[in-house]
Amino acid sequence: MTQEELFKKLIAHCKEYGFIFPSSEIYDGLGAVYDYGQNGVELKNNIKRYWWDSMVKLHENIVGIDAAIFMHPKTWEASGHVAAFNDPLIDNKDSKKRYRADVLIEEWMAKQDEKIQKEVEKARKRFGEAFDEQQYLATSPRVADIVAKRDGVHKRFVEALDKNDLVELRQIILDCEIVCPISGTRNWTDVRQFNLMFSTQMGSTADGASTIYLRPETAQGIFVNFLNVQKTGRMKLPFGIAQIGKAFRNEIVARQFIFRMREFEQMEMQFFVQPGTEMQWWNEWKNTRMAWHRALGFGDEKYRFHDHDKLAHYANAATDIEFNFPFGFKEVEGIHSRTDFDLGRHQEYSGKKIQYFDPERGENYVPYVVETSIGVDRMFLQIMSAAYCEEKLEGGDERVVLRIPACLAPTKVAVMPLVKKDGLPELARQIIDDLKFDYNVSYDEKDSIGKRYRRQDAVGTPFCVTVDHQSLEDGTVTIRHRDSMQQERVAIADLRRMVDEAVSFRPLYKKIKE
């Protein structure tokens, strides 16, 4: 199965099993807007809990807030979003499709890297044991050609972004002979800038309504509350403020399912530090956040850091954590050192002093900020991509199983009476009544046990508990494990402890803290 086929299947699976539906589907959907279904919302809530607790519960010096989506319009002037929250866009005149110019060029560069890798693999086969990759890279004329071309384009690209030179961006696209994937032609328009913020009106027009924006990031709600939290919480630097909430961006190219949406959710933490210590904290948070991802156990090789070529107007260091999605390595999280830009600008635009009195240094200053910013939806896609698995079973059967880490699984236990009579459903209900105070538990009595197992595998339920006639006699049930499909006989009285251990977030938190 190609990665493309896998991705298509994943999208279909998300819909068929109540994880994600296109928004307002009965009206044929709305571009790049999605709804989470009955299983999706549970997984999403568990992701948020994993993040929230790893920030707020595990760190004495991090607290949370929940700011409004609407903010005073001046916020976005201060933050720079009104002037500079732009993407360079380009249209293909034949297909009428719109692309981000920077993304087209980045994809071209990634292709050159793939070419180099292919040459290396070919040479490795040719030379066998004696192959020395470094020597090959340094001496092969073919590789040297590709590297020179790639590096040349990279240099021009970074300069063009820095100078906001849209003509040069277009020229790079032409020089690299980049074609539209739909029409296959190089018939491109000029590159233009496009502001990504959605706007709306607040108040009735008669009263002189004002234009306000739907926030394009949650971070600003944290910055404007810096003093409120610092004073009321008597917080001392370094400390962090965490927030989970919706953000909105009128994305030009909304593709790849929930990877790039127009309405999405962010989990952001702004960590306020003494100026001069920001690089140390930036490194620290890079490592902590990578550990948080890796603790899920999908394999360390699925993640990498990608340092930014062009720093945003507010940053002095920035990296992304990228995950290997079915469509390649792409950003799931950004870790940015934002300097004193945001607080400084809000101080300037509001005319209010936003400073911290440092008792150690005996002075007032505007703190520096290190931010960790991750999309809930991209995290959701990461988990689904890594968890989706098609397996051939003994006897020619097949199953689709979602190997979602048990702590994140939407339903933890499905309880099933072997038959719908003889008091088995009643006992199954009793078990559910005991477990449901602690976990999401489901009941299923329809179809054969085999079919019921398949249904639970497909939504990632870690445990199926079967109640049979023996259960009535000796108070034991069969528990079946999703991943191994192993079954064991256990006492009903032991179920809670077993499930408790398996679905706990504790081992993950311990790994992060190591």
Query: Residues interacting with ligand ATP, by CB under 6 A?
Result: 217, 249, 251, 260-261, 264, 266, 331-334, 373-375, 377-378
Distance, CA of 411 to CA of 462 (rounded, Å): 8
Q: State the minimum distance, in angstroms, from the CB of residue 489 to ligand ATP.
A: 44
Q: Which is nearer to ligand ATP, 42 or 377 (CB)?
A: 377
Q: State the minimum distance, in angstroms, from the CB of residue 264 to ligand ATP.
A: 4
Q: Which is nearer to ligand ATP, 124 or 310 (CB)?
A: 310
Distance, CA of 503 to CA of 506 (rounded, Å): 9
Tokens of 496: 């809670």
Distance, CA of 134 to CA of 131 (rounded, Å): 9
Q: State the minimum distance, in angstroms, from the CB of residue 334 to ligand ATP.
A: 4
Q: Which is nearer to ligand ATP, 137 or 196 (CB)?
A: 196
Q: Which is nearer to ligand ATP, 100 or 403 (CB)?
A: 100
Closest by CA to 20, choosing from 477, 300, 376, is 376
Q: Which is nearer to ligand ATP, 94 or 251 (CB)?
A: 251
Distance, CA of 382 to CA of 50 (rounded, Å): 14
Q: Which H or E element spans position 185?
A: none
Q: State the minimum distance, in angstroms, from the CB of residue 261 to ligand ATP.
A: 4
**C-alpha 362: how far from chain center:** 41
Q: State the minimum distance, in angstroms, from the CB of residue 64 to ligand ATP.
A: 18
Q: State the minimum distance, in angstroms, from the CB of residue 224 to ligand ATP.
A: 18
Task: Count CA atoms closer than 13 A to 418's CA, side-chain side.
Answer: 11
Distance, CA of 230 to CA of 430 (rounded, Å): 49
Q: State the minimum distance, in angstroms, from the CB of residue 293 to ligand ATP.
A: 12
Burial of 486 (0-12, 13-18, 19+ CB in 10 A): exposed
Q: Which is nearer to ligand ATP, 380 or 388 (CB)?
A: 380
Q: Which is nearer to ligand ATP, 371 or 468 (CB)?
A: 371
DSSP 77-104: HHHTHHHH-EEEEEEBTTT--EEEHHHH
Distance, CA of 270 to CA of 240 (rounded, Å): 5
